[in-house]
Structure 1
Amino acid sequence: MSATALAILYRQHLDVLEQRASVALERGGFEHLVVPSGTLHYQVFDDRDYPYAVNPHFKAWAPLTRNPGSWLVFTPGKRPTLIYLQPFDYWHVVPQAPSGYWVEHFDIRIIRTADEAAQHLPPPSRCAIIGEPQSALGEHVPNNPQAVIDYLHYHRAYKTPYELAMMRAASASGVRGHLAAERAFRAGASEFGIHLAYCQAVRQDANELPYNNIVALNEHAAVLHYTELGRLPPKDPRSFLIDAGASHAGYACDITRTHAADSAGEFQAMVQAVDAAQLGMCDQVRAGTDYKQIHIDAHLALAGILREFGVLKVSPEAALERGISSAFFPHGIGHGIGLQVHDVAGFAASDSGGSIDKPTGHPYLRLTRVLEPGMVVTIEPGIYFIDMLLEEVKKNGYGDAVDWDRVEAFKPYGGIRIEDDVVCTDAAPENLTRDAFAAA
């Protein structure tokens, strides 16, 4: 994308943010929106800091992700102010002065110590200060007024064209990493080695990635958030599941793929069946579709695959009704994504608050809203062979619904998950992940 096109998209994005912030402030009865970028947190009894994570409300306005101690101020009718900490420091690299396509839209004030920000902030009594408690500076203490938060979070689900451009770039980076990771797996690398290959291809280290990489070989794929990263490869590599994303200008992608060592084996056939079903679920990401229904339909589709492969002896409908499908697919079909991997307001009933309940028996679904144009969601169905959940099936009296010999045949592979990031539009959905793979 050309610098001119990016500048135009950003200006339009900033217009949307200013409109949203103005309404949110009016809802809350405030005059100023004040957003700290966040601060460094130090480990107990030590002078080492934890990895810094920027306030997502801050990076929504400016593509700055490594600038603790900075602040943003917006007053309706005025240019936003960026208070930018550029300290005198010989221990660390000093951030460069702000530059690029976005700076002309801000009144930028450089400070040399974090405390200097206070002189540039409006009186706190009329401010909605959005951030974590540790960001407090004197009387400027984050108050996170609910009316303001409700409005901003609800509307953050609707991505601007600028945000979609950033997410396409993040997806392109993530796909480079996934291709490198598969090559490393085929070459016999360990989980740790695959992780390093991924980071090198994405050109981001673990602290820059939007979440900890899940790199699981064989049975490890049955642990949903497996992040141990074994240092030695298994003697008999059978399967590989990688759930890994990338960041671009503060925006995230979230991609999962599963690979079989044997391209002609039964596990590979199941991977292909889940992949085909997942594409059908992605096609459901259309305006007016209840995301909860995609989740329920995913249970039916996955139970159908399990029946096709001889794991289940009952119909998909019976497996869903009795909770058996949840033993094999125990998480939600996905979540919103954007500035955060698990983006906010997934259950919001409106921009004035309230929540939409999850379907009974499905406690881990992270999004219950009706889809509308501009929303970006993940679609990540999975089939896993997890001992503790399968034991629950037996305890609940449904053991005869499962062919346990077939379960034993698939357990050495751990599980399968396929995940794409999908944009809801006015027409057919845009699959950011598949498009990035096709381009690569």
Structure 2
Amino acid sequence: MSSAASLYSDHLATLQARTATALERGGFDHLVVPSGTAHYQVFDDRDYPYAVNPQFKHWLPLTRNPGSWIVATPGQKPKLVYLQPRDYWHVVPQAPEGYWVEHFDIVVIRQPEEALKHLPRNASRCAVLGEPQSALGKYGAFLPNNPRPVLDYLEYHRAFKTPYEIEMLREATRRGVRAHQAAERAFRSGASEFGIHLSYCQAAGQDAGELPYSNIVALNEHGAVLHYTELDRVPPKPARSFLLDAGASHGGYACDITRTHAQDTAGEFQALIDAVDRAQQAMCAQVRAGMDYRQLHLDAHLALAGILREAGIITVQPEEAVATGVSSAFFPHGIGHGLGLQVHDVAGFAASDRGGTIARPEGHPYLRLTRTLEPGFVVTIEPGIYFVDMLLEDLQAAGRGGSVDWSRVDAFRPYGGIRIEDNVVCTGGEPLNLTREAFAG
């Protein structure tokens, strides 16, 4: 297995080639990417947690360096303008070091404004990718313009992960799996949601602000709230079930993993978890080149409707449940999304690198990826079954209540729901499941 360091040179060459084409498409000479700056809370001097510009961290594994810039010009070594301020209030970033340093011309500056003299002279010839507040110079000469042809090309091709990126995602996944295992131990020892969250962060070695997204730590009925982030301080009595959707970061890349656990490992809810897990692994096996991700989503609905029917929760055949929207009441979100520098990676609907969109299937508004899978794509596969009062009420109001055995719903309602999520690489052959690989390691 190759290390990220040995793969980085080829990764950078790929980015430089993509940049040359993107700049040609947009009619620019230089790509200029600010790392971003701090955002301050209104009427206060406190800043929000800093989040690096994804376009910046695509080039190098720096995630805590506001005020820095990358300049990429075709045919030239890329330049890094690195802010290392004189500051006794905060910890100053250390001098640039690591496997990536030799690949850049590096200029160290002490004040953010000093970057201007190291950027290309003619801002009008630059594609500047970032947020408006990163602007530098008189009248905001280096104001990010985010030209659409450049973004369309770069973001479309970000779906094709380099071997370096796969290795970074693998490392993020290993960290996330280690933390998931610690969180399950905390659940089984009787910890609260907040206590489980702290155990997770400790095992991941990352604070909440360093994780790629807010942990979903849901006990019992809270598992029915898709983005539950409240973190109760007192554990429920009894704690029947535990749904954990939590990731970890490595060098700017994210993993996104969900597991569901039953306290009673011999009960009906555990049996339902096991059924979803088997179906989920079959769905992961569909992550193959040429597979339309929209079809994978629709196939997932059919498989989950079969589980609901087998468990006696719905009374109609799976095909009818999907056609009438009954399955969507129990599985209301998409089967997954692209993954990489961002948890929900960009260009999930892109028709081509020149723009355009691929529509979602009718009646499925929350699917985040509609492209046909190709080698290098990394996607999540995250089927779920939930018992959400609001959606079940809507189902009854739509006249579909007869499709459901409500006594079975009442039996499962105290457990909230089930979601199982893996991160899977599409290859030229068998898919590579980074999550299962890490759990087996």
How high is the TM-score relative to the length of structure 2?
0.98
Summarize deviations over 1:139-187 as a string: whole Å, max 9, x none. Answer: 1000000000000000000000000000000000000000000000000
Summarize deviations over 1:117-157 as a string: whole Å, max 9, x none. Answer: 00101121100000011111121000000000000000000
Which of 198, 212, 215 in structure 1 is aligned with 2:214? 212
The CA distance in 1 between the partners of 2:237 and 2:424, in whole Å, is: 37
Matched with 2:293 is 291
Give the ranges of 4+ consecutive aligned residues of structure 1 lying more than 3 Å apart after TM superposition.
Answer: none
Where does 1:24-423 land on structure 2 (aligned, <5 Å)? 24-122=22-120, 123-138=122-137, 139-423=141-425
The CA distance in 2 between the partners of 1:207 and 1:114, in whole Å, is: 24
The CA distance in 2 between the partners of 1:385 and 1:350, in whole Å, is: 38
The CA distance in 2 between the partners of 1:133 and 1:182, in whole Å, is: 42
> How much does 1:404 deviate?
0.4
> Which residue type is aligned with residue 175 of structure 2?
S
2:244 touches 2:258 (CA, 8 Å); kept in 1?
Answer: yes
Summarize deviations over 1:219-257 as a string: whole Å, max 9, x none. Answer: 000000000000000111000000000000000000000
Please state whether the residue corresponding to 1:100 is helix, strand or coil: coil
> How much does 1:83 deviate?
0.2
2:4 touches 2:168 (CA, 8 Å); kept in 1?
Answer: no
> How much does 1:201 deviate?
0.2
Matched with 1:16 is 14
The CA distance in 1 between the partners of 2:340 and 2:41, in whole Å, is: 29
The CA distance in 1 between the partners of 2:197 and 2:12, in whole Å, is: 36
Summarize deviations over 1:330-371 as a string: whole Å, max 9, x none. Answer: 000000000000000000000000000000000000000000
> How much does 1:8 deviate?
2.7
The CA distance in 1 between the partners of 2:396 and 2:99, in whole Å, is: 60
> Which residue type is aligned with residue 83 of structure 1?
V
Please state whether the residue corresponding to 1:82 is helix, strand or coil: strand
The CA distance in 1 between the partners of 2:92 and 2:256, in whole Å, is: 31
Please state whether the residue corresponding to 1:301 is helix, strand or coil: helix
> How much does 1:100 deviate?
0.7
The CA distance in 1 between the partners of 2:232 and 2:5, in whole Å, is: 44
Note the residue ranges of structure 1 that are not aligned, 5 or more in a row: none
Summarize deviations over 1:44-73 as a string: whole Å, max 9, x none. Answer: 111110000000000000100000000000
The CA distance in 2 between the partners of 1:307 and 1:62, in whole Å, is: 49
Please state whether the residue corresponding to 1:354 is helix, strand or coil: strand
2:374 touches 2:427 (CA, 8 Å); kept in 1?
Answer: yes
> How much does 1:300 deviate?
0.4
Summarize deviations over 1:273-312 as a string: whole Å, max 9, x none. Answer: 0000000000000000000011000000101000001000
The CA distance in 1 between the partners of 2:200 and 2:220, in whole Å, is: 19
> How much does 1:266 deviate?
0.1
The CA distance in 1 between the partners of 2:220 and 2:149, in whole Å, is: 47
The CA distance in 2 between the partners of 1:344 and 1:135, in whole Å, is: 21
> How much does 1:320 deviate?
0.5
> How much does 1:6 deviate?
3.4
> Which residue type is aligned with residue 131 of structure 1?
G
Summarize deviations over 1:75-101 as a string: whole Å, max 9, x none. Answer: 000000000000000000000011010
CA RMSD of aligned residues (A): 0.7
The CA distance in 1 between the partners of 2:430 and 2:132, in whole Å, is: 42
Please state whether the residue corresponding to 2:245 is helix, strand or coil: strand
Please state whether the residue corresponding to 2:195 is helix, strand or coil: helix
Please state whether the residue corresponding to 2:412 is helix, strand or coil: helix
The CA distance in 1 between the partners of 2:313 and 2:299, in whole Å, is: 19
The CA distance in 1 between the partners of 2:155 and 2:246, in whole Å, is: 25
The CA distance in 2 between the partners of 1:364 and 1:137, in whole Å, is: 38
The CA distance in 1 between the partners of 2:435 and 2:338, in whole Å, is: 14
The CA distance in 1 between the partners of 2:4 and 2:28, in whole Å, is: 32
The CA distance in 2 between the partners of 1:250 and 1:27, in whole Å, is: 27
Note the residue ranges of structure 2 that are not aligned, 5 or more in a row: none
The CA distance in 2 between the partners of 1:330 and 1:393, in whole Å, is: 12
Please state whether the residue corresponding to 2:56 is helix, strand or coil: helix
> How much does 1:7 deviate?
3.0
The CA distance in 1 between the partners of 2:288 and 2:237, in whole Å, is: 45
Q: Percent same amino acid among aligned pairs?
A: 73
> Which residue type is aligned with residue 37 of structure 1?
S
